[in-house]
């Protein structure tokens, strides 16, 4: 089975930087996804890490350490529209991503 | 290019009634997933299809839930009979093996 853990809720200020952590325990690890989900909408893909290290994509970066079973999503220059749930999903084996419960990020002025 | 299309967006039924959800994946995506999402939770896999074959349905409550993807394109998820605890958002997603593309979901309320 898999165990994915992320904080339930985080708050941050507009313009700041926030780091959302995800820890996991799984066998047959084959990649980690981050998705963003606004209330009442579909999850949308942010990033995918399969090798250790940092992947940067605009204001968003994602880091993976396979040996530690750890990933984080880094959001820079926060905007109000970044208020959403951020889902960490671990892929084991071929195509099956298992999702964590998500971190609700609240960005305030 | 059209995304994953689901219908209906919202459905309200009384318990013990049947309900069906439809999903049209992105053209060319052989892998199709049905997920269930409760409020404040992450999506939980119900079933995964590779073309028309269900290859992972261990989490599907088969006493009341059924799914099909007859021609390897559209898929239907059915619940019969629905129970109060089935109230949730049912998400469909498709992929070619990498990232998943989700539909907007079908929100079910069972009264």
pLDDT tens sequence across B52-93: 999 888 889 989 999 999 888 999 999 999 999 999 999 999
CA B17 to chain centre: 18
What residues in B contact A103, CB-CB < 8 Å?
none
pLDDT at A27: 83
B97 Cβ contact partners less than 8 Å away, ≥ 6 residues apart = A94, A95, B31
Residue B1: pLDDT band with limits 50, 70, 90: low
What is the per-residue pLDDT across A10-23, written as a single tens digit (0 to 9) for each? 999 999 999 999 99
pLDDT over 90 at B23, yes or no: yes
Residues in chain A: 109
What residues in A contact B91, CB-CB < 8 Å?
42-43
Closest Cα in chain B, distance from residue A85 (Å) = 9
Closest Cα in chain A, distance from residue B14 (Å) = 22
Cα B8-B61-A94 angle, rounded to 5 deg: 85
% of chain B with per-residue pLDDT over 70? 99
Q: For the residues B95-109, what does the mean pLDDT come to?
A: 93
Residue A2: pLDDT band with limits 50, 70, 90: low
What residues in A contact B35, CB-CB < 8 Å?
99
Pick from B48, B98, B102: CB nearest A43: B102
* Number of A–B residue contacts, CB under 8 Å: 46
Q: For the residues A55-82, what does the mean pLDDT come to?
A: 96
Asked whether the beta carbons of residue A101 and residue B42 sit closer than 8 angstroms, the reply is: yes
Average pLDDT, chain B: 94
Q: For the residues B17-28, what does the mean pLDDT come to?
A: 96
What residues in A contact B100, CB-CB < 8 Å?
33, 43, 45, 97
Asked whether the beta carbons of residue A96 and residue B102 sit closer than 8 angstroms, the reply is: no
Asked whether the beta carbons of residue A96 and residue B104 sit closer than 8 angstroms, the reply is: no
pLDDT at A26: 85
Q: How far is CA A37 from CA A48, A67, B10, in A?
A: 16, 28, 18
């Amino acid at each position: 089975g898999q165990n994915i853990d992320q904080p339930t809720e985080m708050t941050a200020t507009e313009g700041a930087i926030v780091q959302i952590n995800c820890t996991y325990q799984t066998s047959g690890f084959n990649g980690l996804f981050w998705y963003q989900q606004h209330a009442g909408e579909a999850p949308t893909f942010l990033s995918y890490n399969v090798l250790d290290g940092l992947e940067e994509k605009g204001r968003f970066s994602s880091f993976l350490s396979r040996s530690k079973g750890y990933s984080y999503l880094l959001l820079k220059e926060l905007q109000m529209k970044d208020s959403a749930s951020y889902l960490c999903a671990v892929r084991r084996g071929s195509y099956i991503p298992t999702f964590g419960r998500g971190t609700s990020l609240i960005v305030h002025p | 290019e059209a995304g994953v299309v689901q219908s209906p967006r919202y459905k309200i039924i009384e318990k013990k009634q049947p309900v069906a959800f439809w999903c049209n994946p992105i053209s060319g995506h052989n892998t199709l997933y049905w997920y269930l999402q409760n409020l404040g939770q992450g999506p939980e896999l119900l079933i995964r299809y590779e073309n028309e074959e269900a290859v992972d349905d261990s989490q599907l409550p088969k006493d009341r839930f059924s799914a099909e993807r007859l021609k390897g394109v559209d898929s239907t998820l059915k619940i019969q009979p629905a129970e109060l605890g089935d109230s949730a958002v049912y998400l469909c997603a498709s992929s070619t093996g990498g990232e998943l593309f989700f539909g907007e979901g079908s929100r079910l309320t069972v009264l």
